[in-house]
Amino acid sequence: MLSGGDMLVRSLQDEGIEYVFGYPGGSALHIYDAIFRNKAVKHILVRHEQAATHAADGYARVTGRAGVVLVTSGPGATNAITGIATAYMDSIPMVVISGQVPSDKIGLDAFQETDMVGVSRPIVKHSFLVTDAAEIPEIVKKAFYIATSGRPGPVVIDIPKDITSPAETFPYEYPKKVKIRSYVPAEKGHSGQIKKAVQLLLDAKRPVIYAGGGVIQGNASHLLVDLAKRLNYPVTNTLMGLGSFPGEDKQNLGMLGMHGTFEANTAMHHADVILAVGARFDDRVTNETSKFCPGAKIIHIDIDPASISKTIQADIPIVGSVQSVLSEMLEVLKVLKQDPDAQALNDWWQQISDWRERHGIYTKKRYETTGQIKPQEVIQALYEVTGGDAIVTSDVGQHQMFAAQYYRFKRPRQWINSGGLGTMGFGLPAAMGAQFAEREHPVVCVTGEGSIQMCIQELSTCTQYHLPVKIICLNNQALGMVRQWQDLHYDGRYSESLYEESLPDFVKLAESYGHVGMKVTRREDLKAKLEECFAMKDRVVFMDIYVDQSEHVYPMQVAPNGAMRDMWLSKAERT
C-alpha cells in the first residue's frame, strides 16, 4: 500500500530510472517527500528547470534511455517548456513529471496554476493528466513506453497535488508490459519495398547515403557502416547524424546542408540515387526544395510515416525501424550476390575526390593562422588533445558549426547538440546529463560567450555533484552567427549582436563557483592550455578562449532560393 507520491517514485525505481533532474515547489512537495524516502532513484537538483530538461536530454542522448524531469506547477512547468521543445524536435526520449494545483482548484486561476497539458501539447509526443492515483503505475509505464518506442519524444505527466497526497494509500503493482491499442509503432519495413530499394541502390551510378539522427537513436550505426562498406558508397551525415559513420573514414563526405562540406552538398546535388536513413529532409539540409537534387531517385527509410514525403517526395518509402530495415537490406544483398557497377562507382569516386581536392575543408586549410586565434583551430586542437574521443556537447551559433565540422566524431552518441530547435543554453546542462552517464571519456561543452550565459547558473550544479565538465568557450565577444548573417544580408549593420564592454570575467566567475578558469588569447598558448585543462580530470575547467570576431562559418549554402550545391566557400568565393 503506497500513497500516490510514493507510487510515482516507486514506479520510476521499478522502471530502472537512475536519475531524476528537477527542482521542487509547492505542487510537487508530496512527490519530493517521496523522493526523500526513496533510496534508489537519485534526484539531481539543478538551478533552473530549463537545465533539468537539457540535462535529462543529454543523459538520454548518451545512454539511449529516457531522461526524467520533475518540476513544480506554473513557473516550474513553463521553465521546462524550452527543453521539452528541444527534445521533441530532435526525437529524444524524455518523461517530464509536473506537479499541478489540486484537482478542485484546476481552472480557478489558482496560485501557480498553468495548464501544462495545454501549453506543452504541440511539443510532446503524448501527455497525461492524472485524475486517479490508482492509475499512476500504469501511466508511468505507458509514458516510458511511448517516450522510448517508435520515433522517440517527450511525454508529460501532469499530477495534481491531491493525487500525490500521503493521506490515502493504494495497492501498488508496477505493470510488466503495456499495450496501447491506438499506438502501434512501426518495426519491420515492407519486404517488397526493401527489395526494390536494394535493386535501385545496386543499379545506381552516382549514389549517396544520407544518414541522420534516426540512425543513432535507432542504434543502427553498425548496420549503416556494414551497408556502406559492402557497397563502397559515399556517406554524408546531417548535423544530428554525426558519429553514426566514422568521421575520418574515407567514405565519409562530412556533414551536408547549410554549413555542409562542398563535396557532400555537391555530391547530393548530382546524385542519381539517394538513400535517406533516419533523416527528415529538413530545410537546413535541402535548401530550396524545388531545386533539391534534380536527378535523384529517393529511398527514404524512417520509423515515422509522417516524416516520409513531408518536404521531399520519396520514390521508395520504407516505414520501419532503421535497425530492422538495414538488417533486411543487408540480407537481401547477400542473397542477390550482385555488386554495384564498378566502372560507374570508380568514376563517381574520382569526381568526389576532385571536389574534395578543390574545396574540401579537410583536404586544405580553409582559414588563416595569422593574427588572432581562429575558432576552427581551437576545435582542431581540442580534437588532437582529446584524441577525438571526448563526448562533445554544444550550444548554438558559429561555435556549434565549427565543432560539427572540425571535431570528426568517431562513434554514435558522441555529439550532443540541439539541431532542430537550435536552443542556446543547451550545452552546459546537456554536458551535466552526459557526465552522469559517462565515466570513460571526458565531457566537453563547446560554447559561445552568448550561449553560455543562458544557463550559466548550472556551474553551481556542477559544484554540487562534482561533475568535471570542460567548458570550451569560443569567445568572439559577439552573437557571432547573428553577426555573420548581418554581414551577409544586412550590409554589416550589427543590430543588437554586440555587447560593448559588458561581458563578465569568466575566469573569476568560474572561480566563484569553485572551478578553474583560464583565459587564452594567444595562439602559442592554446595547445598547452588545453592539455593543462584536460589533465585536471576531476575539475570543472572554464576555458575562455578569445577568437577572431570577424570569422564566418563556411561553406554556407546560398539562401533563399539556392540548390544544395549553391554555396559560399569563403567571403569572396561562390560556387
Cα distance between residue 469 and residue 575, in whole Å:
40
The answer for residues whose C-beta is within 8 angstroms of residue 495's C-beta and 6 or more apart is 486
Largest pairwise CA distance in the chain: 77
Closer residue to ligand TPP in complex, CB, 251/451? 451
Which of 100, 476, 486, 497 touches Mg ion by CB under 5 A? Answer: 476
Least distance from ligand TPP to the Cβ atom of residue 317, Å: 32
* CA distance readout (Å), 53 to 15, 319, 411, 505: 19, 30, 24, 28
Q: Which helix (H) or strand (E) holds 298?
A: strand 297-302
49 is catalytic: yes
Residue 239 sits in the site that holds ligand TPP (CB under 6 A): no
Tell me if 553 sits within 8 A of 481, measured CB to CB.
Answer: yes
Q: Which does 14 bind (CB under 5 to 8 A by kind): ligand TPP, Mg ion, none?
A: none
Tell whether omega for the bond before 555 is within 30 degrees of 0, i.e. cis.
yes
**What does the block give as the cell for 452?**
553560455
Residue 450 sits in the site that holds Mg ion (CB under 5 A): yes
Q: Which does 252 bind (CB under 5 to 8 A by kind): ligand TPP, Mg ion, none?
A: none
Closer residue to Mg ion in complex, CB, 78/549? 549
111 is catalytic: yes
Least distance from ligand TPP to the Cβ atom of residue 449, Å: 5
Tell whether omega for the bond before 154 is within 30 degrees of 0, i.e. cis.
no
Which of 448, 517, 555, 562 touches Mg ion by CB under 5 A? Answer: 448
- What angle, 0 to 180 degrees and rounded to 10, lies between the N-to-C axes of helices 49-63 and 81-89? 30
Pick the catalytic residue from 161, 374, 470, 529.
161
Residue 486 sits in the site that holds Mg ion (CB under 5 A): no
Q: Which does 396 bind (CB under 5 to 8 A by kind): Mg ion, ligand TPP, none?
A: ligand TPP
481 is catalytic: yes
Q: What is the 3-state secondary structure (H, E, C) of 410-455?
A: CCCCCEECCCCCCCCCCHHHHHHHHHHHCCCCCEEEEEECCHHHHC
Nearest to 157 by CA among 203, 106, 105, 96: 96
Binding mask 350-389 toward ligand TPP (x if CB under 6 A, else -) reads ----------------------------------------
Q: Which does 395 bind (CB under 5 to 8 A by kind): Mg ion, ligand TPP, none?
A: ligand TPP
DSSP 180-239: -TT-----SPPHHHHHHHHHHHHT-SSEEEEE-HHHHHTT-HHHHHHHHHHHT--EEE-T
Total binding residues toward ligand TPP, as defined by CB under 6 A: 20
Residue 481 sits in the site that holds ligand TPP (CB under 6 A): yes
Q: Which helix (H) or strand (E) holds 483?
A: helix 480-489
Closer residue to ligand TPP in complex, CB, 146/285? 285
Closer residue to Mg ion in complex, CB, 243/480? 480
Number of Cβ within 10 Å of residue 467's Cβ equals 22
Pick the catalytic residue from 112, 193, 457, 549.
112
Pick the catalytic residue from 7, 21, 49, 484.
49
Which of 207, 442, 480, 517 touches Mg ion by CB under 5 A? Answer: 480
**What does the block give as the cell for 106?**
484546476
Q: Which does 279 bind (CB under 5 to 8 A by kind): Mg ion, ligand TPP, none?
A: none
Residues in 385-444 at the binding interface with ligand TPP, rule: CB under 6 A: 395-399, 422-425
365 is catalytic: no
Pick the catalytic residue from 116, 255, 329, 481.
481
| Residue 307 exposure: Cα atoms within 13 Å on the Cβ side | 26
Tell me if 56 sits within 8 A of 31, measured CB to CB.
Answer: no
Cα distance between residue 57 and residue 465, in whole Å:
18
Letter for the amino acid at 308? Answer: I
Residue 427 sits in the site that holds Mg ion (CB under 5 A): no
The residue range among 84-92, 229-237, 281-289, 447-455 that interacts with Mg ion, by the rule CB under 5 A, is 447-455
Pick the catalytic residue from 36, 111, 173, 250.
111
The residue range among 41-49, 133-141, 370-378, 448-456 that interacts with Mg ion, by the rule CB under 5 A, is 448-456
89 is catalytic: no
Active site residues: 49, 111-112, 161, 481
Residue numbers of the site for ligand TPP (CB under 6 A)?
Answer: 395-399, 422-425, 448-451, 474, 476, 478-482
Residue numbers of the site for Mg ion (CB under 5 A)?
Answer: 448-450, 476, 480
